[in-house]
Amino acid sequence: MIIAEHLGVKVGERLILDDISIQIPVAKVTAIMGPNGSGKSTLLKCLAGANSIKNGKISINGKPLNTYSLEALSRSRAVLSQTTTIDFPFSAFDIVKMGRNPYSNNSSQIQDENIAYHVLKCFDCLALKDRVFPTLSGGEQQRVQLARVVAQLWGTNNTYLFLDEPTSALDLKHQHQVLRFVSEFASTKNIGVCIVMHDLNLAMRYSDQVILIKSGKLFASGETNKVLISKNIERVFEVSIDSIFYERSKFH
């Protein structure tokens, strides 16, 4: 389990995160949700060890995050950022194999290639295997990058997968395909998955618990069906549930 206690992050004079205490369990999908600029991506980066914190502490499986070496951290968690720019002419297969770099001294090339092949298939990317990565569409690139971070954790357990808006460029079919896979990956492989999400419907369907933040503060956290309730949604996102259903009804 990842345990964060009283996290605080400040950029200049602005407090981005203020006294956040949460837990990310293994074998479950945790969604981080909130309005734009509320600190969702910052929180995810802190939990993954990519951002420094001003106050508080974070532990991964009982060990302080700041005591992990880069090598040990790369074997304990994988991170997919919102944007990852790659201009070099690597193939999609090459990109996914990069996820196996932390194990270069412990696994064979054949084993790593088999894993890369398998996860490409899981994300419906096998036909893209030999395509040059920069020539792929935004959605195709996103799925290949998802395959890369899953390949990084393949064969592990008690590890963590951090995804920042992983379905932002995906069509409807692939949104559900990706989140269905991620949910099964968490439960069957004992992986803790933490996702920054905006879509309430997808969060309700695929997440086990939700961390709801607003203006850098923890508003609510817990089981999805207990957090994503009307009064919380209306207060955090400042939108009436009735107006959402009214707008939808106009299209029927």
pLDDT tens digits, one per residue of 192-216: 999 999 999 999 999 999 999 999 9
What three-state secondary structure class fits 79?
strand
Q: What is the pLDDT of residues 57-72, one digit of tens each?
A: 999 999 999 999 999 9
Taking the C-alpha atoms of residue 78 and residue 99, their distance in angstroms, rounded to an integer, is 9
Taking the C-alpha atoms of residue 2 and residue 185, their distance in angstroms, rounded to an integer, is 18
Six-digit token string for 27: 């074998």
Taking the C-alpha atoms of residue 104 and residue 117, their distance in angstroms, rounded to an integer, is 17
Q: What is the pLDDT of residues 4-54, one digit of tens each?
A: 999 999 988 889 999 999 999 999 999 999 999 999 999 999 999 999 888
CB contact set of 134 (below 8 Å; sequence gap of 6+):
86, 87, 88, 89
Nearest to 46 by CA among 35, 32, 34, 26: 32
Taking the C-alpha atoms of residue 65 and residue 44, their distance in angstroms, rounded to an integer, is 14
% pLDDT > 90, the chain: 85
Q: Can you list the domains of the chain with their CATH numbers?
A: 2-84+157-249 (3.40.50.300)
Q: What is the pLDDT of residues 219-252, one digit of tens each?
A: 999 999 999 999 999 999 998 877 665 544 443 4
Taking the C-alpha atoms of residue 45 and residue 53, their distance in angstroms, rounded to an integer, is 10
Nearest to 213 by CA among 49, 22, 14: 22
> Whole-model pTM above 0.75?
yes
Residue with tokens 């939700």: 210
What three-state secondary structure class fits 105?
coil
